[in-house]
Amino acid sequence: MIEVIKLYKYRVKKKFKIIIIHCILSFMVLLIAFPLIFALIKSTQTISEVFSYPPRLSFGSAGLNNYKTAWFDFNLGQFMFNSSLIALIITVGKIILSIMAGFAFVFFDFRCKRFLFLFILVTLMLPIPVRIVPLFDLMKQLKWGDTFYALTIPFLASATGTFLFRQHFMSFPTSIVDAAKVDGAGPIRFLIQILLPMSMNTIGALAVIEVVYVWNQYLWPLIIISSNNKNVIQVGLNSLIGTGDQGTNWGMVMAGAIIALLPPLIIFIILQEQLMRGFSLSNDK
């Protein structure tokens, strides 16, 4: 009998706990999203609505006008196109190069293997700020200043990707190589027909990481791109703000910020399962 009462008490306590957890969770979600919700509301308001006091916290009468102005009159459409193109080139390039490198490190024996792996890994210690002045000069010498070459080609190698695919490939039993050899499959066919279909989670994880990373780049495009129509969205967004005082059309700036956020956000939401799986995959040895 006492046991039953104990169990009942335990259940009531648990139910109460669940309700509290729901409340705290919803509050946290709202708190984190709050700046974004505020931006979304303000993006639909006209200038006078934005500056009304006390601040108006409901959707305004500008509708999609701020979005249209930002997109067409302030060239955001062009910036979005530029960023998409660059993100696509770098992400696809990095995935291909990392798969090739990871494949070489796991399924072949060759001289200087350890050295070459370290050689690629050490590039992790060379982020842009470490080499920014000479890289800028190099771009000028190659006549790549103010071009998409400067925004893409220097970023194609990926230590993260190489490491990620090496880990992933190492998790396969070595017997599958033997099986492939028995079947008479060469290395390239083995890679394309057997390894790749089993690597979609890793590819997805790397794709999210790289799309978000490339899309959000700011410092390098800021210094290397000088023509307005070649700008990426992150730097272009800054041009909407202008002086930042009364003359700023904040509704339109918020519309621009939301436009700039959408592509990586959508890709992140679609691929977040892969990202999580990619992460926990690297956790267990």
Partner 1 sequence: MDSRFGQKKLPYILLLPSIIVSILFLYYPAIKSFILSLYKTAFFGMKKIFVGGENFIELFTSPDYLNSIIISLIFSAGVVVIGLAISLFIAVLVNQDVKGVRIYRIGLIWPYALSPAVAGTIWLFLFNPTAGLVNYITESLWGISPDWISNGKLALLMVIGAAIWKNLGYNIVFYLAALQNIPREVLEAADVDGASDIYKFFKITFFFLQPTTLFLIITNLIYAFFDTFGVIDILTKGGPVNATTTLIYKLFIDAFQNYKSGLAAAQSIILFIMVMGLTIAQFKWTDNKIQYGA
| Closest CB to partner 1 among residues 64, 179 | 179
Please report where in the chains the tokens 């306590």 appear, as a residue: 13
The structure tokens listed for 117 are: 């792996």
Q: Is 80 in the site for partner 1 (CB under 8 A)?
A: no
CB nearer partner 1, residue 68 or residue 172: 172
Residue 239 is a binding residue for partner 1 (CB under 8 A): no
The residues, any chain, with a CB within 8 Å of residue 155's CB and separated by 6 or more, are 90, 94, 214
- Supply the DSSP string of 119-171, one letter for each residue: HHHGGGG--GGGGHHHHHHHHHHTT-TTSHHHHHGGG---HHHHHHHHHHHHT
103 near partner 1, judged by CB under 8 A: yes
Site for partner 1 in 125-154 (CB under 8 A): 125-138, 153-154
Residues 6+ apart with CB under 8 A from 188: none
247 DSSP 8-state letter: T
Residue 220 structure tokens: 């390098």
Residues 12-71 contacting partner 1, CB under 8 A: 18, 21-22, 24-26, 28-29, 32-33, 35-36, 38-39, 42, 50-51, 53-55
Among 65-73, 74-82, 194-202, 214-222, which window interacts with partner 1 (CB under 8 A)? 214-222
From 66-74, 192-200, 246-254, give the range in contact with partner 1 by CB under 8 A.
246-254
| 107 is a site residue for partner 1 (CB under 8 A) | yes
Q: At what angle do helices 159-170 and 76-107 cross, to 10 degrees?
A: 40
Question: Of 58-66, 67-75, 196-204, 236-244, which segment contacts partner 1 by CB under 8 A?
Answer: 236-244
Structure tokens at 41: 């509301």
**Site residues for partner 1, window 154-193 (CB under 8 A)?**
154-160, 162-164, 174-175, 177-178, 181, 186-187, 190
> Does residue 92 touch partner 1 according to CB under 8 A?
no
